[in-house]
Structure 1
Amino acid sequence: MNVKLILSTFLFGGLIIFNVNALPASLIERDGDTSLGTWQIVGESGVNAMHAFLVSARKVVFVDKLEGNALKRPDGISAISAEYDLDKNEARPLSIYTNTFCSAGAWLGNGTLVEAGGDNGDANFRSGRQTVRVYDQSIGDWYELEGIMPSMRWYPTMLSLPSGNVLVVGGSKAATGINKEAINNPTYTYYPPSGTVMEDYPLQFLAETLPNNLYPMVHVMPNFEGKPIIFLHANQRSISFDLGSGKVVFEYPKLPGAFRNYPLTGTSVILPLSSIDNYNARFMICGGNKAYEITSEGEASCGILDLMAENAEWEMNDFGGTPRVMPDATFLVDGTILFVNGARTGFAGYRKGGGANALWVNENPVLFPVLYDSYAKTFKPLASSIVPRMYHSVSTLVPDGTVLVTGSNPQGGVSLNVKYPTEYRVEIFSPPYLFSNTPRPNIISLQTFEINKERIKVYYQQIVTLIVQVAGGEPSFKASLIHHGFITHSQNMGQRFVWLDVVNVWMDTTVTDQYIVTVLLPPNSNIIAPGPSFIYLMNYDAPAYSGVEVLLNEQPA
């Protein structure tokens, strides 16, 4: 192989500029206005998507509560979990036998998805309140560890930890609309446990933040000391907490405006991390509501908090000017955030009554997403869907750069001929960057492995090599690493975006339009937790045709 060195310098933030005056021409002529993105209904989910998580480059798993979905397991019982094939746009039933209602999920460092908690059973399903479920990728199905959690958890949060295990935190011990002291569960536990059994550890913060503390927002705090510190937000309060000592490290100022936790549901992310500012973490929280009232207008504000600042203060904005309760926040390949789904009024929960007199506790669906650029600090409204997506809806980035959006079921059972029916339609939203005039890169291999045949093992601080083809003149590459998380109830548990430093780019002179790109992976597991993630590449503003699925871990001794 003959190569020509294009660039040999270390640039932070993953951006290399070759020739800003000579962008290649469009490869494809497109009809219509695509500047705001496009929507397409592509299939049916089989079960309502109360939960969702990406299990490979072209497959997503959905999990529902107990209800009469038309998709059946082999034993004839309505399925409550399904694997959705993004190429065939077909769903196949999976095997869950305990009640998953309002549970949570996160990824182990070995690449296994763990889900925990739930509600009581019925004639066909056993109780899930103390159950841990494991999605076994080798067989493409679930197995269940019933009763192993030391306490009942409904509406807990889970988080992938730097250690490679997962945290299960908070929730209530019984189903409820608003949490109460009698059923509150102000504790946390780990799976797998350090000993032979799971144990609960006290978390006073969750005793102090009643009643709006269900699905607490939890994120790993970046640091270089290897400390197991997490950030938590519940009600209007935020703390950093050291899991090693079991003590609060710092309490942040009270968040202005609305409440943001279930049932006055907002959403949150840690904004893109970069070596440019030493992986400084900024927490962003958007939407919610001020009151547990059907007619109460959703919150049209976001708060941003610099978690590393000595005198941290909330920086508030108007969330693009649209009130929204139950929004979903999804990172796109370029580090922008797509806020989608939700309602203008009400709160998370089921309609009251039936027929023409039904009261919908979440109403006035917001049909258009907004795109947030954290560097420009701007919101941009994008093209509208035709499908209302409110309570129990989800969105997730797909490795081809699109966003899968599905779900919505603001009622206790399957109802199809009502104002807001149980939604099985799966939509794909194509963001504006897919319609750029810039040629999209095609990643051929990573570390000599063909991409997306299986997860490619990579390590912290490793420089990895991608073989990339892109037409149309000298490219300009930037790279990112995204953990897609576990999505439910407007919470994307563990979702993370980290810019990768592009180290070198060579032109392969033996192959037309082929380049060798080396990128540096993050320095440690506090920046992004070990486990499955995707490496993404962009040429100027155009993402590659697919990201690369990797399994990130510590280098073996």
Structure 2
Amino acid sequence: MAPVTRSSRLTLVALSLLAARTLATPSLPPSTDLFDTLGDEGLFDFETSVDYDLAAPEPADYDLLPPEQQDDIFARVVDGSLAARSWHGYEAHSKRALGKAMTGASTMVTAGQTGVAAMQITLVDDDHIVIYDKAEDNALKSKSGGSAWGSVYTISTQKVRALNLKTNSFCAGGGWIGNGTLVSVGGNPRQDSNENAADGLAAVRFFTPCTNDKCDVYENPSRIRMTSQRWYPSTVRLQDGSIMILGGMIAGGFNNAPSTDNPTFEWFPPKFDGLPVYSKFLHDALNSNLFPITYLLPNGQIFVAANQIAMVYDWKKNIERRLPDFPNGVTVTYPASAASVLLPLTIANNWTPEILFCGGTTANLNLNPAKLSSSYLASKQCSRMALNTAGIKKGWITEDMPSPRLMGDALLLPTGHVLIINGAMRGIAGYGNVKDAVGASNAASPVKRPVLYDPVAAKGKRFSYNFPEGRVERLYHSTATVIPDGRVFVAGSNPNDRVSQKTYRTRYGVEMLSPPYMSLARPSFSGAPAKVGYNKAFTLTVSVPKGTKAVQAFLMDHGYSTHGVHMSSRMVELVATLKGTKLTVTGPKTTGLFPPGTGWLHINADGVPSVSTKVMVGDGASPPVSQSAINNMLKKTKGSPK
């Protein structure tokens, strides 16, 4: 970790640049551009509570917009051409069922321990995964001698080393910014079981990858913090490489309520005037508006879902446009915790964003949780919508999974399929709330077998169970992520207040799922650039199995995984042309297709994926910095108490 100067004038963002990267010149519009329709009198005067009388523009329902405005919302320029579709063989590809990559046998094996309960995970590089837990009495010890609640897992050795967090990262959110630094946000106050943990509600934590296994978490709560307390917040990386932070609670509890709600957005690094923006959408989504689901769209706006409602948000103009509600009364966010994914953005679908949600619950989550039950059957509904004019007019298209599920993780596999793994068939997320908890778990009937969803298959033929069951349940606080060689890392499960041995106990063991393509002849490549430029060509030397008919190139972001949410995950196909052993690939046309920051590059040969390699998409510069926004944030907010 680079040394950090302790000057009282040190800026918030300078502290984040632990790899000593060059600061970008501020280029954001003045705050008046965003708040012309709001008025700022009294808008940001709260410190530990939210004023629900804040003025904000009413959301404009999409269906009420004139047709020309509907088209403008989704207008964008993307790379590629119709001719490229023919070369890639997409007419045949779009009619495939599972394809050879997914029709063989799968295996699930144990792969060491995580050291701390794997509540939050994110892939760091070819060989490491960062893991965050809540501050609890884990056996792994930190440098201070107390229990650790963060670790780094090494894929090749299955060993872990402790990280040294200062603040409690219980139910935090997180994401990677454009310079390759991991930012963790929010959490909860100190737990009684770990007196070493400071209040984490407004915390901002940094982790910058290193090559010597000595990098650690950096925190400075007095100078680096959010504008307000956030438990269960989400993040999304934007087209300038910053992250937007959404929602959460200002205090702990089973579900949200008006008295604890924080229905606002803010940014890291701070933007505009440095203070949060009220969201009527998040307020309307009470009570189940925690860990809102959000994805960056190719046009630079973001999709957001919470409870049973959804919208498209123009973050530069602060305009909320409502989408159709989820069908049949299904709630999709915590404690319903449906699995969700932004489907692959490909040449075949002209990079049109489509959103998929599977599972959740129809239970009335506004009830006193003592009136809810662990035996209530979860939803098996999947809802899918294309976010263009035609798709929104059609609304959510539904079909059923083979079985009900909540608390599942939806992972984009490098083949373009969606793997739904972890979770339960009954109950709701959380612990210690329902009248008939199992141990302390609010959920029962674990689903141990993953299910596969094929986005391009015909409706009614998209699901398959071509996988073995996991060895243990993966319930509340479980996680999963794809790793560079194509396997799936599965860990966590702790539906308990602290480390426990009761039914559905704290799980530290790791399992690795090997999909069928792991046993096939796979393509490979060399010559990947360290940085992939926007709309810039580069050449890979490739080796593909004999008889290969189509070769594709993809960028992936595996996201930040917690509570079944995979923040900023995406898969984007790049235009590529093969001549002999040389594959000429063009980087994404726009930052909306793939925002600046870490990505994972791989190729597919007739659908069979190679191993992926880490690249920096863009120039690796830090997100834009506004010193005036930072100063105003520090002046008008306060850090969490010690």
Fold match by TM threshold 0.5:
yes
CA distance in 2, matches of 1:308, 1:401: 31
Tell me whether 1:231 sits opposite 2:303 in the alignment: yes
**SS of 1:11's equivalent?**
helix
Q: Give 1:386-405 correspondences, 5 Å limit.
A: 386-405=471-490
Q: List per-residue Cα deviations over 1:323-367 (Å, max 9, x = no partner).
A: 101000111111101000000111111246999984531111000
Q: 1:477·1:540 contact (CA, 8 Å) conserved in 2?
A: yes
Alignment equivalent of 1:361, drawn from 442, 447, 457: 442
Q: Give 1:186-265 correspondences, 5 Å limit.
A: 186-194=263-271, 198-223=274-299, 228-265=300-337
> How far off is 1:14 after superposition?
8.4
Q: Give the aligned partner of residue 612 of structure 2.
A: 547
Percent sequence identity is 34
Tell me whether 1:444 sits opposite 2:530 in the alignment: no
Rate the CA distance shift 1:361–1:354 in 2: closer, same or farther, 3 A.
Answer: closer
Q: Give 1:149-548 correspondences, 5 Å limit.
A: 149-194=226-271, 198-223=274-299, 228-291=300-363, 292=365, 293=372, 294-310=374-390, 311-319=393-401, 321-351=402-432, 358=439, 360-376=441-457, 377=459, 378-381=462-465, 382-416=467-501, 418-436=502-520, 439-447=521-529, 456-470=530-544, 472=546, 476-503=550-577, 505-507=578-580, 515-544=581-610, 546-548=611-613
Please say which of residues 326-335 and 283-292 is displaced more in the overlay: 283-292
Rate the CA distance shift 1:357–1:201 in 2: closer, same or farther, 3 A.
Answer: closer
CA distance in 1, matches of 2:216, 2:85: 41
Rate the CA distance shift 1:266–1:355 in 2: closer, same or farther, 3 A.
Answer: closer
Rate the CA distance shift 1:421–1:522 in 2: closer, same or farther, 3 A.
Answer: same
Rate the CA distance shift 1:183–1:357 in 2: closer, same or farther, 3 A.
Answer: closer
Q: CA-atom RMSD, angstroms?
A: 2.5
> How far off is 1:536 after superposition?
1.1
Alignment equivalent of 2:169, drawn from 95, 100, 115: 100
Q: Give the aligned partner of residue 69 of structure 2.
A: none
**SS of 2:579's equivalent?**
strand
CA distance in 1, matches of 2:248, 2:421: 25
Unaligned runs of 5+ in 1: 1-8, 21-32, 448-455, 508-514
Which amino acid in structure 1 is aligned with residue 187 of structure 2?
Answer: G
> How far off is 1:102 after superposition?
0.7
Which amino acid in structure 2 is aligned with residue 392 of structure 1?
Answer: H
CA distance in 1, matches of 2:447, 2:349: 35
**SS of 1:349's equivalent?**
strand
CA distance in 2, matches of 1:424, 1:263: 23
> How far off is 1:198 after superposition?
3.8
CA distance in 1, matches of 2:292, 2:237: 15
Q: List per-residue Cα deviations over 1:191-247 (Å, max 9, x = no partner).
A: 01136x841111111111111111111111212xxxx41111111111111111111
> How far off is 1:15 after superposition?
3.1
Rate the CA distance shift 1:412–1:10 in 2: closer, same or farther, 3 A.
Answer: same
> How far off is 1:54 after superposition?
0.3
Q: 1:60·1:83 contact (CA, 8 Å) conserved in 2?
A: yes
> How far off is 1:420 after superposition?
1.3
CA distance in 1, matches of 2:377, 2:116: 30
CA distance in 2, matches of 1:289, 1:251: 20
User: If each structure's strand is expressed as a fraction of its own residues, which one has the higher value?
Assistant: 1
> How far off is 1:16 after superposition?
5.8
Which amino acid in structure 2 is aligned with residue 348 of structure 1?
Answer: A
CA distance in 1, matches of 2:242, 2:338: 26
User: If each structure's helix is expressed as a fraction of its own residues, which one has the higher value?
Assistant: 2
Rate the CA distance shift 1:359–1:550 in 2: closer, same or farther, 3 A.
Answer: closer
Which amino acid in structure 1 is aligned with residue 511 of structure 2?
Answer: E
Rate the CA distance shift 1:433–1:13 in 2: closer, same or farther, 3 A.
Answer: farther
**SS of 2:327's equivalent?**
coil
**Aligned length, in residue pairs:** 509
TM-score, scaled to structure 1: 0.87
CA distance in 2, matches of 1:37, 1:279: 30
Q: List per-residue Cα deviations over 1:75-100 (Å, max 9, x = no partner).
A: 21111110000000101101101000
> How far off is 1:118 after superposition?
0.6
**SS of 1:256's equivalent?**
helix
Which amino acid in structure 1 is aligned with residue 398 of structure 2?
Answer: M
